[in-house]
Amino acid sequence: MASKASAVWTGSLKEGKGTISTATGVLNNANYSFATRFEGAASGTTPEEMIAAAHASCFSMALGAQLGAAGLTPEKIETHAAVTLAKVDGGFAITRIALTTTASVPGATKEAFDQAAANAKAGCPISKLFANNTEITLDATLV
């Protein structure tokens, strides 16, 4: 399975602008720019915001799979991801991803949940993508 997206950029780095689209149409000419990425402009997205969405959704699915393998069925898993882009030697890099998740899992013990969350963090493909070059933290709460 190959997921597909495209980006179009026009103009210089600071004055230019771009759009991002996905093959599924979920994103259709979503705006992005220097101002959204580096200056906090409210209109538009950033590559890091999309990585945050990808990681939050990937981790949630991986946690659901881990819980299922333990014979547990979650009622709800809600994950938030915060991706930090920072200036480092040689330019900019994603230096940290903080995952915060809460889950309602009938019959789960704290120990079983914590193990499933740790396994999900290690096994999620997006976590694996960043594992050797980015700090990934996890705050997982069973509710």
Nearest 5 degrees, angle CA 10-CA 25-CA 76?
A: 120
Distance of CA 135 to the CA centre of its chain: 13
pLDDT at 42: 82
Ordered mean pLDDT values, 10 residues apiece, the chain (143 residues)? 94 95 94 91 91 97 98 97 94 96 97 97 96 95 96
How many other CB atoms are there within 10 angstroms of residue 101's CB atom?
21
pLDDT at 93: 93
User: Is residue 8 within 8 Å of residue 18, measured between CB atoms?
Assistant: yes
pLDDT at 1: 87
Domain ranges of the chain: 5-38, 47-142
Query: Which CATH number does 47-142 carry?
Result: 3.30.300.20
Task: Look up tokens 């995952």; give the residue.
Answer: 99
pLDDT at 120: 98
Structure tokens at 62: 């991986």
pLDDT at 40: 84
pLDDT at 49: 94
User: Is residue 97 within 8 Å of residue 136, measured between CB atoms?
Assistant: yes
The helix (H) or strand (E) run that includes residue 119 is helix 110-123
